[in-house]
Structure 1
């Protein structure tokens, strides 16, 4: 390992501060006022943020609570340093004190290099020991945060290191966008066939639009295609519950376990949510690729996950589910793909939320699912949709698996590049290609 040169964070930053300690009154339409809950991996989510008036924004601007181009923002309160990102585009937006602002001196340090450095496990461990207070809501104390040691390298070397890591992140982000488009494609097809009833008729034309016969269904109080059945789901499926476990059984080695943390808010699968279960389980507790799983507990404020469904991908040789999850076993009249799209639809989710109860943790009364009256399309139509869905799902699973590999490479490279065990040779900082793992122009050399 090469000799490392350390400098204090406050010697390479022009300013270390946080957002507003005063929270203005929100309005329906205005400028974003963002907190740590709005932070994501590479920027802000504006879906559920607060908005403030121009006058309040001007106050925030005067008090330096508005992030500027190249500022490095850190999650300061709660899950500190969970999110660290660089402001790449100036917008009229203000932030609250749960977010820290680091304003790099661009002549001394690359904002992206600083971002990745703060993502490293060694820095997070140091911060946890020396710069965090509070138990219920831990937060970084910025007063002394500038005393953190930074591994300092020449600016061009910083930029090369940041470019290697950011190219990996860019490829991950591109894959995420591809998957979002594929998921939207599957949802659109479901809506087109099973909500608008424009599935292909015998001539390959949209059924309802082409004059396909619709009949009134008294139970649903609306028309459905002729020949479709309506049944309570309890008549067409059964449930297998997950495993109860102790916290001591969730550790390093063991069988992979899907838990509540494996669900994204939109009902899609989150690979990084997998736990390792070291306790005992029976053969009957194992689940397989293609099985349908639903969330039967929820800790989100708005019951975002309760009742949502995922289909098990083909990542794992052995897999179990936690007590927060249940496996849904459909009859031969239904398919996992059809039920998954139904369970993740807005209509069904708004219905099933009323069967969840609890204060801190919501628990689902499965009677709500059993009592739900659903259209049962002809088996041939379900199988045709299932075939298309599986093709889309396979592509999504492959891309997610690739992202896991890319993230593992990035996380391995991060400390190695920072401490000089691996160096980057022949890499052009302006290179903008997004390769799978590394470009031809990149050489990773062990020192």
Structure 2
């Protein structure tokens, strides 16, 4: 099987044909016994999602997983060789010191090609489908391919300046997505920090606008310990209900459903849109007031504020579908469900014989208790953080549209169906600007 790129469009005549191994090196460096490395920054396959690295793990080399072997450099491309359809790929623009990737990745180091151009070529949907077909044709226990498949892939190369323009055009979209993700992370941390300050540390503003606890506010004993005088211990069930109203999408085969699933959450917190006939099991109906919290493996924190872009929003039955009793306190309820206290409560109240299938009893979560200072302070907090959560959702939806634009343009740019304007002459001595960003680049 050979890769037939981009819907059979014939590249322009001036584009050259090369094998990937002629312009890049795959798995160039691995840890050797002679390497003096003490602590590593480890990239596992599960940590790479939606072109991003969710989290690096720090290990002493002697304590690291046995698969932690691939040395990663600036501008290296990482593509998981296992289940390529899950799109565990990314580009390392700036490698951390002693950054090591799992041997489950093919680590591609661009040499005689613009790094961004090669990255988007090898992570296009067309190429991912090609790798998936090969992986699924293997007889191993799980779908996987050998890295020499990438090495022997034919690639069509435009002139260097055009590679640069194409790569940087696509990269600019991803940089905007990364910026939105960073803003969202900061906004979510801000909202959580404010909730903790007001309702855990009890430093909410008193009648004079001063922090209550630090300004000598009075406390009294409760089943939760000391809480501000006049506050009450309340249960989650007094503020939220759990909806189990279900639907069988398969009986409505012509309807496009806005589907909130665990894989969709893990792939970027965006729902997938599927026809009813594609969905094989019952789902819960989702409303604009819904707050979704995964009951599966609560150590992996999954809380979702659904967008409800259509009237046919549904979610996996692996989510607990919370509906605030009072809609004006929705952001307040979301903050409770997103709090560290509630997260630890879920972890401490799971059932299941294996770590991979731990679940929470939804009704049991309604017994979760917390200190409540009255509706006035709850309304004030709710109004403050509502704007934060709204902005997070706006940024996430913008990322959805940006990714759609990128994925639409990518095959057309890579095939030459759409040509980018190039101002520099191919022989311009200033052309190898890429070399300034990548020591690996050798035009």
Q: Per the shorter chain, which TM-score range?
A: 0.7 to 0.9
Partner residue, 2:40: 31
For the residue of structure 2 that corresponds to 1:230, the secondary structure is: strand
Partner of residue 75, structure 1: 80
Q: Work out whether 1:145 is the aligned partner of 2:147.
A: no
When normalised by structure 1's length, the TM-score is: 0.78
Displacement after TM superposition at 1:11 (Å): 2.1
What residue in structure 1 maps to residue 261 of structure 2?
259
Q: 1:431 to 1:343 in 2, by over 3 A?
A: farther
CA contact (8 A) 2:332 2:378 kept: yes
Equivalent residue number for residue 395 of structure 2: 399
Provide the C-alpha distance between the structure 2 equivalents of 1:430 and 1:386, rounded to a whole number of angstroms: 53
Q: Which residue of 1 aligns with 2:351?
A: 357
Q: Shift of the alpha carbon at 1:285?
A: 6.1
Shift of residue 202, structure 1, vs aligned partner:
1.7
Find the residue that maps to 1:216 and give its secondary structure.
strand
Deviations along 1:168-217, whole A, 9 cap, x unmatched?
Answer: 10111111111111112211211111111121222222222222221111
- Corresponding residue number in structure 2 for 1:413: 409
Q: Which residue of 2 aligns with 1:17?
A: 27
User: Could you say what secondary structure the match of 1:124 adopts?
Assistant: helix
Alpha-carbon spacing, 1:147–1:115, altered in 2? closer, same or farther (3 Å):
same
Task: State how far apart, in whole Å, the 1-side matches of 2:415 and 2:182 are.
Answer: 33
Which residue of structure 1 aligns with residue 440 of structure 2?
A: none
The 1:336–1:213 alpha-carbon spacing in structure 2 relative to 1, beyond 3 Å, is same
The answer for the alignment partner of 2:94 in structure 1 is 88
Question: Pairwise CA RMSD of aligned residues?
Answer: 3.7
> What is the number of residues matched between the two proteins?
405
Residues 368 and 19 from structure 1, CA distance in 2 versus in 1: closer, same or farther, beyond 3 angstroms?
A: farther
3-state secondary structure, aligned to 2:243:
strand
Secondary structure of the 2:331 match is helix
Q: Label 1:329 to 1:42 Cα distance change in 2 as closer, same or farther (>3 A).
A: closer
Whether 2:132 is the aligned partner of 1:121: answer: no
1:243 matched residue in structure 2: 246
Unaligned stretches of 5+ residues in structure 2: 1-8, 425-430, 435-443
Name which of 314, 320, 341 aligns with 1:320: 314
Q: What's 1:101 paired with?
A: 107
Cα gap change, 1:177 to 1:95, in 2 (>3 Å): closer
Does structure 2 conserve the Cα–Cα contact (< 8 Å) formed by 1:261 and 1:274?
no
Aligned equivalents of 1:373, 1:395: Cα separation in 2: 29
Larger relative contact order (CA 8 Å, sep ≥ 6): 2
CA contact (8 A) 1:9 1:147 kept: yes
- Secondary structure in structure 2 of the residue aligned to 1:138: coil
The answer on 1:276 being equivalent to 2:246 is no
